[in-house]
Chains A and B, each alone.
Chain A
Amino acid sequence: MIFPAEDFHSDSPKPSPLFTAAASSSEANIWTSVNGWSVARAYTSLEKEYQAAKTNAVIADLGPLVRYALRGDAAAELLARLTTAPAANLGTGESARGLILDNAGNVVDLAEVSRLSDDLFLLTTPTPHARRLQLASRGFDVDVEDITGDVAALGVFGPDASEVLNAAGLKSHEETIASSAVVRGVEAAARPIQFGAIPGIEIIFPKDEALTIWERLIRRGQVGPIGLDAMEVLRLESGVPRSGVDFVSAARSRSGEARLPIEIGLPHLAPLDRGWFNGRRGLRQQADRSSRRLMSLYIDDDRALTGAEVRIGDKPAGRITSCAWSPATKRVVAFADILPPSSGKQSDISVLTTAGLPVRAKLAQTVENALALSFMSAQNAATESRG
């Protein structure tokens, strides 16, 4: 799950349940606010944290993400309505990604649904949706509880994530299934998650025990924490758009700003042949809307900044919405909201630098757009075989 845009205007962000533990690990002491909670932008340095995530494992405070517990016989139906995730088809312990759409099919937010038992689900979203949940749950026998501040949530990412958890005594029996464990008397639930392309595990436990688990992971697992800035690089490399940065939620958008799933590069998260979900009819009716696309770009110059103009040929086609230097590819990796090149000539794409000079850019292959492409080809093949 991806963090939403920071709320820079927040004067006094609340401490997350893991704040005390995180603050004690912070050497850089650079903080920001997400959903009104304090989040470390960096603990040591961006490079160190990035490399650790790529080669070893890192832990992250995921407390600022919003979590709802849904309990009731109709919880699966409600989630299947509210999100595009196939909640009804999930077995106990399974998780699925999806989107929250408005009735016109525009993206309101990303969502992740986990089935914890027959009638208990966990919904994780980047931003709060209490009002929407309340409206959606009318007519459903479901108890919805916002547990965001009541639980501590800690993410372990990286190739060695399993070893770290094993060392800490939190190893799950199956890596794709959520499980529960008791660690030093603390009841914790672990579920597999993805941070962009990097697989990881999220551990959720009572907020009063926040320090116990954090310390145990750091000491036994020999891992360090990762801040928001390093996570941003990993996100861009994976090609996952960020709410409030790369697209505006349809719930807050002005005219022309709302985006369909395909326009933010996530058509595979809202397949029209899935069961009913909110906005499916609107999405079907807008399927032919020819408009902008959020695309991942590699730019061969580190002077390209967010907001820079993207050109196709010599015509302005859009702007960079977010970018960062990617140590792995030795280039700037960026998201750009552009009108897609009709000719498909990647060599025609350029970005204006701060100096006003055009530099070459090309479409990037990310994990997320590989998923989108394979989904689209499957859809086209199905359409052709039907035709």
Chain B
Amino acid sequence: MVDQKEQDQNAGRIEGGIDAIVLGACADGLAAAAYLGGAGFRTILLEAGSEIGGEIRQRELAPGISCVDGDHLVTVLDPETIADLDLYRHGISYAARRMDTAYFFEDGQSLEVEGDLLNAAASIDEEIGGGVEFQTFTRDAMDMAAQLRSAFGVSVRKKSRQRVLGKAVDASPDIARRLNQYLLSAGDVILDDYLPDGTLKTAMLSEVAFRSGAAPHEPFSFMNLIRRWAGEVSGLQAATAYPKNGTVSVIDALRRAVQAAKVEIRAASPVSKILTERDEVAGVQLANGGQIRAPIVVAAMDARRVFLDMIGPDDIDIEFQRAISAQPLNISTAQLHLVLKGFARDDKTKEHMRRRIVYAPNSENLRRAFATARAGDIPTDLMIEAIFPNAMENDEGNDDRQLLSLMAHPLPFDLTADATRREAITAAILECVEKFAPNIEERIEISDLRLPIDLAENTGAHPAAFAARSGVLQQWALSDCAARAGQIEGLYFCGPEAQIGAGISCAAGRLAAKLAIHEAKRGAQAA
């Protein structure tokens, strides 16, 4: 990795002989760089900050206690990228591959659902009944998710997505009917059809709503769940997994893949401008005044920064500018790290702590929460996803303290948040946590809230990059548009707007790099 001192020495220099530049060392940027380097392209990966990983980064909360910002679980990690880049060899391994989920409800009830959803019927029957209905629901939804899996990748040509949907429609009249229903209907309407039991419906409703900008009672919202269940982790569809050493280990594996592909990583190298000449990309201008010339630039940063700041509105189409800047941004997810006093030592408690814990508000309260968050206020009922990272690692703890990582949704999307606002958000999250972990507040030693603006500050991105995105259909349209990169030849985009749904995926990076490689080879052949 090239350091800051060397960067300063390069100020004002024009570098040539580079085949490709990747902007942003987030998961997608790393994946894209590894693909390009692996294809024999002389590639430079430029990262504005001093660390790689984008929003996924490890921090020390207290001496001996580290947390990981960004996603704390993986759900949609692209299997093709893992295989192509040989990420297992580069160090990805899982502490838990198919995590069970414990749902807690407002009325004090709880429900344990096996990580293997297709086999969860028996245990559900035992606990609350309705196992058969749940099995029908998960089978139908996961069938559809499998059918649509490739439609959730980035589609540079709209027709390829249409082809996937067309194929699903042609498969059978039943699938065509269900596809129509799943695409258009609200999550709670579909769940009403499948799950008469209120508890099961509430649990699944929270899964539909989690990290989505579309409330589960709104049209098109059900596809959020289908998108998540279309994802794979270590070959397991719809699984939720915890990588050893946390999600930061995915970044570490990608970094090793990048190094193996002989890509030069330059940290602390902010880019001020993407250079275009006669509608083709020509390289980048660095903030220190230097230039790197290359015929391929892959941008793995948020669309606003890439197209509005680095290219500028005077060089992109009005319709394109509108598409990338007109997303409704009013919902976000917050992450709260808690360092708790005390450490469970008995096996039974430890086993419980190795699950994914979800607090699921009822349908009415969830609906109210979305409305409140959209109005800019803090909802009283939030959906919470919680994990105990130390328990996942079988970490025995060395100073009798326990880390709890929480994701809370839906919260308002704030462009600024003062200490009072942060306190109010923390209090709202803790109030929900109290409902399934009574008296937890007494055990809190450190509480650390991460909002989209914090992630934006860490990465230098626009906070919009970390807002919850709207329904899948709108995301499809946005990703199609963003992936075309304003029709600038040689520019490829794999920022957050190119991805469908939340979570570490790398699919956008893979597709952008593969397209760049394909077009460069085709261009070379034509020449």
Contacts and interface: CB of A to CB of B under 8 A. Distances in A.
Interface of A: 77-78, 80-82, 102-103, 132, 135-136, 138-140, 276, 278-282, 284-285
A139 B318 contact: no
A139 B317 contact: no
B279 A136 contact: no
Given A132-B318, A140-B313, A281-B317, 9 more contacts: A81-B313, A81-B314, A102-B319, A103-B318, A103-B319, A136-B318, A138-B321, A138-B325, A282-B317
Interface string B304-340: 0000100011110111111001000000000000000
Among A77, A102, A278, the most chain B Cβ lie within 10 Å of the Cβ of A278
B312 A139 contact: yes
Contact of A135 (B279, B308, B322, B486): B322
B487 interface: yes
Contacts of A284: 279
B168 interface: no
B313 A280 contact: no
Contact of A276 (B314, B322, B325): B314
Given A103-B320, A138-B321, A139-B308, A282 B315 contact: no
Contact of A81 (B318, B319, B325, B486): B318
Interface string B282-324: 0000000000000000000000000010001111011111100
A138 B319 CA distance: 12
Given A139-B308, A139-B312, A285-B487, A279 B321 contact: no
Nearest to B279: A281
B111 interface: no
Contacts of B318: 81-82, 103, 132, 135-136, 278
Contacts of A78: 314
A279 B325 contact: no
25 contacts: A77-B314, A80-B314, A81-B313, A81-B314, A82-B318, A102-B317, A102-B319, A103-B318, A103-B320, A103-B487, A135-B318, A135-B321, A135-B322, A136-B313, A136-B318, A138-B325, A139-B321, A140-B313, A140-B314, A279-B317, A280-B279, A281-B317, A281-B487, A281-B488, A282-B487
Contacts of B279: 280-281, 284
A136 B312 CA distance: 12
Nearest to B325: A138
Give me the 6 closest cross-chain CB pairs, A-B, nearest first.
Answer: A103-B317, A139-B313, A281-B487, A103-B319, A136-B318, A281-B279
Interface string B124-159: 000000000000000000000000000000000000
B488 A138 contact: no
Nearest to B280: A281
Contacts of A276: 314-315
Contacts of A82: 318
Contacts of B315: 276
A140 B322 CA distance: 14
Nearest to B326: A135
A106 to B, nearest CB: 11
Among B279, B313, B318, B321, the most chain A Cβ lie within 10 Å of the Cβ of B318
Contacts of A280: 279
Nearest to A133: B318
A377 B315 CA distance: 28
Contacts of B322: 135
Nearest to B320: A103
A278 B314 CA distance: 9
A82 B155 CA distance: 28
A129 to B, nearest CB: 10
Contacts of A139: 308, 312-314, 321
Contact of A281 (B313, B321, B325, B486): B486
A278 B317 contact: yes
Contacts of A81: 313-314, 318
A280 B318 CA distance: 11
A276 B313 CA distance: 11
Contacts of B488: 281
Among A78, A82, A136, the most chain B Cβ lie within 10 Å of the Cβ of A136
Contacts of B314: 77-78, 80-81, 139-140, 276
Contacts of B325: 138
A242 B39 CA distance: 52
A138 B308 CA distance: 10
A373 B486 CA distance: 31
Among B315, B320, B487, the most chain A Cβ lie within 10 Å of the Cβ of B487
A136 B321 CA distance: 8
B492 to A, nearest CB: 15
B308 to A, nearest CB: 6
Among B315, B486, B488, the most chain A Cβ lie within 10 Å of the Cβ of B315
A316 B320 CA distance: 38
Among B308, B312, B314, B320, the most chain A Cβ lie within 10 Å of the Cβ of B314
B315 to A, nearest CB: 5
A78 B314 CA distance: 7
Nearest to A136: B318
Nearest to B308: A139
Nearest to B489: A281
A89 to B, nearest CB: 15
A30 B138 CA distance: 70
Among A102, A103, A135, A139, the most chain B Cβ lie within 10 Å of the Cβ of A103
Contacts of B308: 139
B351 to A, nearest CB: 55
Contacts of A132: 318
Nearest to A137: B313
Contacts of A140: 313-314
Among B279, B312, B315, B320, the most chain A Cβ lie within 10 Å of the Cβ of B279
A251 to B, nearest CB: 10
A3 B373 CA distance: 49
Nearest to A101: B317
Contacts of B487: 103, 281-282, 285
Among A139, A281, A282, the most chain B Cβ lie within 10 Å of the Cβ of A281
A139 B305 CA distance: 13
A138 B321 CA distance: 9
Nearest to A81: B314
Contacts of B320: 103
A370 to B, nearest CB: 29
A2 to B, nearest CB: 23
A135 B325 CA distance: 10
B92 to A, nearest CB: 39
A278 B317 CA distance: 5
B169 to A, nearest CB: 21
Contacts of B317: 102-103, 278-279, 281-282
A81 to B, nearest CB: 5
Contacts of A102: 317, 319
A103 B317 CA distance: 6
A97 B314 CA distance: 20
A77 B316 CA distance: 12
Contacts of B313: 81, 136, 138-140
